[in-house]
Structure 1
Amino acid sequence: MQLLVVCLGNICRSPMAEGALRARLQRAGLEHVQVDSAGTGDWHVGEPPDRRAIATAARHGVDIAGLRARQLQAADYRRFDWLLCADLQNLRDVQARRPDGGGARIDLFTRWSGHDLGGGDGAIPDPYTGGEEHFEHVWSVVDAAAGAAVRRLRGAAVSRGRD
């Protein structure tokens, strides 16, 4: 299983989600699930995550400082099983860019994982123009979604074991 988390610039939400997913998957013994992140835009390609995203993840025991922003590529639609988007605009952009032969399935990260945000549209809010409290809120959302993703993936593994 290969998962790609996608947001706008790949410096806040998607690297935080990547870090949370990797940490949760490792703790659950699901290291075979591959996780990466990308952005729909190219403004930050090659840059590390936003310093506030790095600090927030670090406060929760997750190191994302070594990640580097990259832009979503056509090959990602063939390489990954799922492209998991941070919000509805990212979802629309990712769907619109799907190349011929791109077999990856596309959904919101929160919806795919089964994490209910309490009646909203499933969007992970963009903390870029906010303060530390906004990054903490985003961490709580992506970490909860990562926990739900682990439960989903464990359930899929159990179902395959019964076949």
Structure 2
Amino acid sequence: MVCMGNICRSPTAEGVLRAHLQQAGLAGQVAVDSAGTHGYHIGEAPDPRSSKAALQRGYDLSAQRARQVSAADFQRFDLILAADRANMTALRALCPPDRVARLDFILAPLGQVPVLEVPDPYYGGAGGFDRVLDLIEQASALWVDRLRQTLSMAAD
């Protein structure tokens, strides 16, 4: 899960997807992490507003710390999901050509054309954080379904 600073959207997406995977019994089979394309907040906890909104829905982001995307991420992860087009552009610039197929958007399963972006709530009010959670919860449920199918096919 990747956004710009790794303190609002991507840690929220990490926490929500991790919880949904756990509920689906897939937590031990899928590694979830988040990062930012920029190093503005390295080592910082998620934005308190993100943490508060997430906690109100049962997602604990308190153990997360911001980090920047690294070259190793393109080797380590089968999927790297961007919050928006700007971050996708940054990821494509860093990504080895043989790994570009691993890039997608966090909200891709929602089927919006053009791909719906996760709005950045950083400069807005509390409602923006709830909107981010609404979108990410919907997409995460669909990602879990996709991952379950992928894991099932790999086991066959």
Corresponding position of 1:124: 118
Q: CA deviation at 1:102?
A: 5.1
Conserved 8 A contact 1:83-1:104: no
Query: Which of 5, 11, 31 is the matching residue for 2:7?
Result: 11
Q: CA deviation at 1:103?
A: 6.9
Corresponding position of 1:115: 110
Q: Which has the higher helix share?
A: 2
For normalisation by structure 1, the TM-score amounts to: 0.89
Conserved 8 A contact 1:10-1:70: yes
Q: Which moved more, 1:150-159 or 1:89-98?
A: 150-159
Q: CA deviation at 1:156?
A: 1.9
For normalisation by structure 2, the TM-score amounts to: 0.92
Question: Runs in 1 of length 4+ with deviation above 6 angstroms?
Answer: none
Q: Which moved more, 1:57-66 or 1:93-102?
A: 93-102
Conserved 8 A contact 1:57-1:64: yes
Return closer, same or farther for 1:157/1:62 CA change in 2, 3 Å cut-off.
same
Secondary structure of 2:107's partner? helix
Return closer, same or farther for 1:106/1:58 CA change in 2, 3 Å cut-off.
same
Corresponding position of 2:16: 20
Corresponding position of 1:87: 84
Amino acid at match of 1:141: L
Conserved 8 A contact 1:81-1:103: no
Q: Deviations over 1:78-116 (max 9, x none)?
A: 1111110000111111001124765771111111xx123
RMSD, matched Cα? 1.7
Cα distance in 2 between the residues matched to 1:79 and 1:136: 31
Corresponding position of 1:41: 38
Secondary structure of 1:20's partner? helix
Cα distance in 2 between the residues matched to 1:102 and 1:23: 27
Secondary structure of 2:103's partner? strand
Cα distance in 2 between the residues matched to 1:160 and 1:78: 19
Corresponding position of 1:62: 59
Cα distance in 2 between the residues matched to 1:155 and 1:79: 21
Corresponding position of 1:158: 152
Corresponding position of 1:136: 130
Q: CA deviation at 1:157?
A: 2.8
Conserved 8 A contact 2:92-2:100: no
Aligned length: 155
Cα distance in 1 between the residues matched to 2:150 and 2:97: 28
